[in-house]
Amino acid sequence: MDITPSPADPAGIGPLELVEYPHPALLRRTSPLVSIDDALCAAVDRMFEIMYEAVGVGLAANQVGLPYRLFIVNLEANPESGEELVFINPTLSRPRGTAVQEEGCLSLPGLRMDVRRPEKVVLDAWTLDGEQVRLDLDGFLARVVQHEFDHLEGRLFTDRLPEAASLEARRALDSMRDVFLGRQSRGELPVDADIHTRLAALEAERCAPPGGRA
């Protein structure tokens, strides 16, 4: 897979904002990027702003309505400290151990629950400069990276709960859905068909065509 920095600035991405469950971008697998352009770099800058405003430690592109395999992390949740990490087209391998820790998600406001995940994992990804990185992760960074990677697969931490906790989460998700559908019916949010059209247009701009090499 090649990622070629491109001097051209194709279609702008436009204003970005955090999207909440059940926005269709969250529930759909993202697509690998085949080019990195100025508009995408600007979008990543904006993602950091959005993440810091919400005091988050990680943010996946589809949490701001971009259908790309890209997420950002700063374990300090603070622009003045910590390291700003950008991972493009990530893959995870070699899961080892098990750890349980409480998680929350900027797209599931108010919900926090214990989630079981591998304790260690190897991450392969590209940086915004097009450099390849391989990191053997454990601790909090391993947890955050796995949570963000799940987003790119269209999965939320509520998909990883044992049955009793899952029923409890279901009630919260159902009320978030009611709020979302209400906002759509009042015209405050686009309808699903328009959201899918925009996601497809963004994919066409920076991802390989379906069935093509990526």
Which neighbouring-strand residues pair with 115? 101
Residue 144 touches Ni ion, criterion: CB under 5 A: no
Comparison of 36 and 121: residue with beta carbon closer to Ni ion: 121
Taking the complex as a whole, how short is the minimal distance between the CB of residue 40 and Ni ion, in angstroms?
Answer: 21
Comparison of 95 and 109: residue with beta carbon closer to Ni ion: 109
Comparison of 3 and 43: residue with beta carbon closer to Ni ion: 43
* Distance, CA of 194 to CA of 155 (rounded, Å): 22
Comparison of 105 and 152: residue with beta carbon closer to Ni ion: 105
Structure tokens at 164: 């009793």
Which residue stretch of 3-11, 75-83, 99-107, 115-123 sits at the interface with Ni ion (rule: CB under 5 A)? 99-107
Which residue stretch of 25-33, 73-81, 104-112, 201-209 sits at the interface with Ni ion (rule: CB under 5 A)? 104-112
Which residue stretch of 97-105, 124-132, 136-144, 159-167 sits at the interface with Ni ion (rule: CB under 5 A)? 97-105
Which of 83, 148, 163, 203 is catalytic? The answer is 148
Residue 113 touches Ni ion, criterion: CB under 5 A: no
* Distance, CA of 47 to CA of 10 (rounded, Å): 19
Residue 61 touches Ni ion, criterion: CB under 5 A: no
Taking the complex as a whole, how short is the minimal distance between the CB of residue 151 and Ni ion, in angstroms?
Answer: 6
DSSP symbol at 152: H
Residue 105 touches Ni ion, criterion: CB under 5 A: yes
Which residue stretch of 10-18, 27-35, 64-72, 102-110 sits at the interface with Ni ion (rule: CB under 5 A)? 102-110
Q: Looking at residues 152 to 211 of the shown chain, list those that interact with Ni ion (rule: CB under 5 A).
A: none
* Distance, CA of 30 to CA of 83 (rounded, Å): 25
With beta carbons less than 8 A apart as the criterion, state whether 137 and 47 touch.
Answer: no
86 CB-near residues (< 8 Å, 6+ apart) = 44, 70, 71, 72, 127, 128
Q: What count of other Cβ atoms lies within 10 Å of the Cβ of residue 14?
A: 10
Comparison of 3 and 64: residue with beta carbon closer to Ni ion: 64
User: For Ni ion, how many residues bind (rule: CB under 5 A)?
Assistant: 1
148 is catalytic: yes
Give the 3-state secondary structure of 1-54: CCCEECCCCCCCCCCCCCCCCCCHHHHCCCECECEECHHHHHHHHHHHHHHHHC
* Distance, CA of 48 to CA of 53 (rounded, Å): 9
Q: Which residues are catalytic?
A: 148
List contacts with Ni ion (CB under 5 A). 105
